[in-house]
Amino acid sequence: MENRHEQFLSLEKSHLSPFVRQSNRRMAEVLDDEFFKFGSSGGISRRSDFDGDGSFVDDEYHISRFEVRPLGPESVLAIYLSENRTTGTWRHRSSVWKKRENGWKLYFHQGTKTHGFNIPE
């Protein structure tokens, strides 16, 4: 069995991957029924926003400085830096994952704009 770090890194990569992001159905499989996010644009998205026919852009992301911190027996906080290699933009990202009957689901996500080269270790 993979360790916690690898497990949640894989989950984070799943919701950022073009394959998943291009399909509302696949994106909905990752998201918790109560999912919400604060986007870097200042907007708020909810689970129901992924029920329609639209899809996200298929940008390529790279994750670095990935950490997982337990919040309790059935929830974790994942924090990391992402580089959008399509647009050249950087974000500090945080996600709360909750364990549900059908596996780990993304409950909350936030992305905050930053400059990748200014990030302290």
The three-state secondary structure class of 50 is helix
* Distance, CA of 79 to CA of 107 (rounded, Å): 14
- The encoded tokens of residue 47 equal 């689970």
Residue pair 94/40 in contact by the 8 Å Cβ criterion: no
- pLDDT reported for residue 39: 79
Residues of the chain under the 50 pLDDT cut: 1
pLDDT computed for residue 22 by the predictor: 72
pLDDT of residue 121: 54
* Structure tokens given for 39: 């986007």
Q: In the prediction, which pLDDT does 1 show?
A: 39
pLDDT of amino acid 18: 76
pLDDT at 44: 87
Q: How far is it, in rounded angstroms, from Cα 46 to Cα 37?
A: 7
pTM of structure: 0.84
